[in-house]
């Protein structure tokens, strides 16, 4: 199974790991397949689903910590990681991972520098076999990019000196390694010389990223595997993704973790897109831009609950071509929902108007459909008190029959429709900052320039509180229902003593990183 990521300077990325697999991995700590943007994450610890929390086992924020502050008024309204994660490349698989000669064609790759400094053999071959071009054994062989799938972002990736290779999407790489490395290690500051070999800062970042190809983590939320939001994702009547794995992360758990971790100076990671594409990014900081208590009715409206149009009045009739069938006006009030649905035979046309009978040129709603099946619905405008419904026979049918079902007077429910145990609702608008990737050709200490690699996402959500003001859940609102993180994870440590088939050792990489900082 090949996994991938997106980055700014290339194309973009995806992770083909099913949500059900993630759930099993979290429960039993089974290692994921190596390779790709999201592989190698090993969730640590047991899932928690305490009785006093409403989240399910996958979404409970207590997975991150048993010492979270849940009272919303006690949580900071902004915060930033004390050690800001550093930017780095995700070392594309199509460029043969850290075998890439980023410093020029005559330079040594980070993998070759490691081999020369530490006395290894065949390090580049093993990097390619486990993490690079040679790891893509199920991909199509090729000699030119024209033989690959352009729609999938593939190129014909060839190892140095080879005339043939494999069709590999440019987004495949190890952002799942760069992200924890950027959080767990301080950014290297100086080149390091080891046994006569000079490791530049970018070489050190490459080795640190690969050394975290497998990482023990604390991990919440299911994994959405829908590949295309526009065409494949289904939505419920509130406009939320129907698949539970695509509807999480829960907005309440998201806010609690942002406020408890970034608010207290500690970074963690996210997959920032809810569909099958995976953009693993380290989070830097956040700010609450708006916070206000709302009624249950307003919370329902923001989330997408529609007004119930109310009781139905039935009308029937017959019209000839050009003949109007005007109905008695119906009393309405501004803000109420209304709906008029017409069925029948022939070709009758439906017209609606407020406070006056409609005409052929003056109307509020006119569906313009063939046949006698038409409908109009909406909310009564301000200042309007009467709804006029009329039907006219179309010349296409000498005689048309119609049946009207007219309803009005309903309002959005004043009973919260989602978490029935919540007693208070708070709307929040929040900005969240994350670190984006850099080109693998870029070298140097980037912390002084980290603002240039900081991107911001904007979120809106309803927080559900209990009687003590403690967050116990939440719902995304507005565009955030479709644009919010898929899963969140807290890297704990690199979980493998070596990578690339045992040829690159974590202890060696850590020693180089420590030397660079000193």
- Partner residues linked to 291 by β-bridges: 428
Q: How confident is the model at residue 245 (pLDDT cuts 50, 70, 90)?
A: confident
**Mean pLDDT of the 154-176 span:** 94
| Distance from the Cα of residue 124 to its chain's centroid | 35
As beta bridge partners, residue 280 has: 271
CATH 2.60.120.620 holds for 312-410:
no
The percentage of residues in the chain with a pLDDT greater than 70, rounded to a whole number, is 88
- Residues 121/122/124/126 CA torsion (nearest 10 deg): -110
* Average pLDDT of span 237-258: 89
- pLDDT number for residue 58: 87
CA 58 to mean position of chain CA atoms: 16
| Residue 51 pLDDT | 36
More confident: 106 or 33: 106
CB 130 within 8 A of CB 123: no
- Cβ atoms of 293 and 426 closer than 8 Å: yes
pLDDT of residue 15: 30
Q: Quick one: pLDDT at residue 279? A: 82
Query: Which residue carries 């045992």 as its tokens?
Result: 502
pLDDT at 63 over 70: yes
CB atoms within 10 A of CB 144: 11
Exposed / middle / buried, residue 333 (Cβ in 10 Å: 0-12, 13-18, 19+): exposed
Q: What is the pLDDT of residue 229?
A: 55
Q: Other CB atoms closer than 10 Å to residue 1's CB: what's the count?
A: 14
Average pLDDT over residues 423-430: 98
Q: Please give the Cα distance from 168 to 233 (Å, whole number).
A: 26
Structure tokens at 346: 């022939």
Higher pLDDT pick, 102 / 34: 102
The answer on pLDDT for 186 being more than 60 is yes
pLDDT at 408: 84
Residue linked to tokens 């992360």: 249
Average pLDDT along the chain: 87
Comparing 29-43, 293-307, 355-369, 389-403, which segment has the lowest mean pLDDT?
Answer: 29-43
- The domain ranges of the chain are 1-303+416-518, 312-410
At residue 108, the 3 state secondary structure works out as: coil
In the structure, what pLDDT confidence band is assigned to residue 8 with cuts at 50, 70 and 90? very low
Where b means 16+ CB within 10 Å and e means fewer, 297-312 reads bbbbbbbbbebebbee
pLDDT of residue 441: 92
Q: Give SS3 for 15.
A: strand
Which pLDDT band, with edges at 50, 70 and 90, does 236 fall under? Answer: confident
pLDDT of 78: 98
Mean pLDDT of 140-154: 93
Helices 175-184, 201-211: axis angle to 10 degrees equals: 110
In this structure, what token pair is assigned to residue 497? 């003593």
Nearest to 80 by CA among 285, 287, 315: 285
**DSSP structural state of residue 186:** P
Query: What is the pLDDT confidence band of residue 243, given thresholds at 50, 70 and 90?
Result: confident
Q: What is the dihedral of CA 356, 361, 364, 366, to 10 degrees?
A: 130
Asked whether 503 and 207 are in contact (CB, 8 A), the reply is no
Question: CA 255 to CA 252: how far, in whole Å?
Answer: 5
List pLDDT tens digits, range 475-505.
Answer: 999 999 989 999 999 999 999 999 999 999 9
Spatial separation of the C-alpha atoms in residues 189 and 117, rounded to whole Å: 19
Mean pLDDT, residues 38-51 taken together: 54
| Spatial separation of the C-alpha atoms in residues 34 and 17, rounded to whole Å | 12
Least confident of 111-120, 168-177, 498-507: 168-177
Q: What angle do CA 360, 361, 367 make, to 5 degrees?
A: 70
Res 244: pLDDT:
82
How high is the pLDDT of residue 39?
60
What's the token pair of residue 354? 């407020």
pLDDT for position 293: 97
The torsion of the CA quartet 194, 197, 200, 204, rounded to 10 degrees, works out to: -50
| Distances from the Cα of 487 to the Cα of 251, 276, 412, angstroms | 11, 11, 32
For residues 431 and 397, give the distance between their C-alpha atoms in angstroms, rounded to a whole number: 58
pLDDT band of residue 321 (cuts 50, 70, 90) is: very high
pLDDT band at 23 (very low <50, low <70, confident <90, very high): very low
DSSP secondary structure, 248-317, as one string: PSPHHHHHHHHHHHGGGT---EEE--SSS---EEEEEEEEEEEEEEE-HHHHHHHHTPPPP--SEEEEEE
Distance, CA of 71 to chain centre:
26
Using N-to-C axis directions, what is the helix angle for 110-118 and 201-211, rounded to 10°?
Answer: 90
Radius of gyration of the CA atoms of the chain, in A: 29
Lowest mean pLDDT among 45-49, 126-130, 178-182: 45-49
Q: Tens of pLDDT along 254-298? A: 999 999 999 999 999 999 888 777 889 999 999 999 999 999 999
DSSP 3-state assignment of 427?
strand
Query: How many degrees, rounded to 5, is the angle at CA 378 between CA 375 and CA 383?
Result: 130
Whether the per-residue pLDDT at 146 is higher than 50: the answer is yes
Taking each helix axis as running N to C, give the angle between helix 201-211 and helix 506-517, from 0 to 180 degrees, rounded to the nearest 10.
140
199 beta partners:
192
**Mean pLDDT throughout 322-351?**
92
The pairing of strands 504-505 and 498-499 is antiparallel
Average pLDDT value for residue range 124-141? 97
* Structure-token match 């904007």, residue found: 458
User: Can you tell me whether residue 470 is helix, strand or coil?
Assistant: strand
Confidence of residue 231 (pLDDT cuts 50, 70, 90): low
Contact 88, 205 (CB under 8 A): yes
């Amino acid at each position: 199974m090949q996994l991938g990521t997106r980055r700014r300077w290339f194309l973009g990325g995806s992770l083909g790991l099913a949500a059900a697999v993630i759930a099993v991995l979290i429960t039993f700590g089974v290692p994921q397949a190596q390779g790709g943007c999201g592989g190698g994450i090993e969730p640590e610890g047991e899932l928690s689903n305490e009785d006093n929390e409403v989240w399910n086992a996958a979404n409970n924020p207590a997975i991150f910590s048993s010492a979270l502050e849940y009272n919303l008024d006690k949580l900071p309204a902004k915060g930033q990681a004390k050690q800001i994660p550093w930017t780095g490349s995700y070392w594309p698989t199509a460029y043969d991972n850290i075998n890439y000669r980023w410093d020029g064609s005559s330079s040594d790759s980070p993998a070759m520098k490691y081999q020369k400094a530490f006395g290894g053999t065949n390090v580049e071959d093993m990097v390619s076999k486990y993490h690079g071009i040679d790891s893509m054994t199920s991909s199509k062989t090729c000699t030119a990019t024209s033989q690959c799938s352009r729609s999938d972002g593939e190129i014909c990736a060839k190892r140095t000196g080879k005339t043939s290779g494999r069709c590999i999407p440019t987004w495949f790489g190890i952002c799942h390694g760069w992200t924890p490395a950027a959080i767990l290690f301080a950014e290297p500051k100086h080149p390091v010389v080891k046994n006569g070999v000079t490791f530049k800062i970018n070489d050190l970042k490459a080795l640190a990223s690969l050394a975290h190809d497998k990482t023990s983590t604390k991990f919440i939320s299911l994994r959405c595997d829908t590949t295309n939001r526009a065409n494949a994702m289904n939505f419920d009547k509130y406009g939320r993704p129907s698949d539970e794995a695509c509807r999480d992360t829960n907005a309440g758990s998201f806010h609690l973790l942002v406020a408890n971790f970034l608010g207290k100076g500690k970074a963690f990671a996210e997959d920032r897109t809810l569909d099958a594409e995976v953009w693993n990014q380290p989070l830097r900081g956040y700010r609450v831009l708006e916070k206000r208590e709302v009624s249950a009715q307003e919370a329902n409206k923001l989330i997408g609950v529609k007004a119930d149009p109310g009781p139905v009045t039935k009308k029937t009739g017959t019209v000839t071509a050009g003949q109007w069938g005007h109905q008695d006006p119906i009393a309405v009030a501004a803000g109420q929902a209304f709906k008029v649905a017409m069925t029948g035979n022939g070709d009758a046309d439906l017209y609606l108007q407020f406070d006056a009978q409609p005409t052929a040129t003056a109307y509020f709603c006119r569906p313009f459909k063939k046949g006698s099946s038409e409908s109009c619905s909406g909310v009564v405008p301000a200042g309007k008190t009467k709804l006029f419904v009329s039907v006219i026979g179309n010349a296409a049918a000498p005689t048309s029959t119609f049946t009207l079902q007219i309803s009005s007077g309903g309002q959005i429910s004043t009973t919260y429709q989602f978490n029935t145990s919540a007693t208070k609702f708070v709307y929040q608008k929040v900005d969240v900052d994350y670190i984006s990737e850099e080109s693998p050709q870029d070298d140097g200490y980037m912390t002084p320039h980290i603002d240039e690699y900081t991107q911001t996402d904007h979120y809106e959500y309803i927080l559900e509180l209990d009687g003590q003001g403690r967050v116990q859940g939440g719902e995304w609102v507005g565009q955030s229902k479709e644009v919010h993180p898929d899963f969140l994870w807290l890297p704990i440590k690199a979980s493998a003593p070596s990578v690339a088939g045992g040829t690159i050792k974590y202890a060696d990489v850590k020693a180089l990183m420590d030397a660079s900082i000193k």
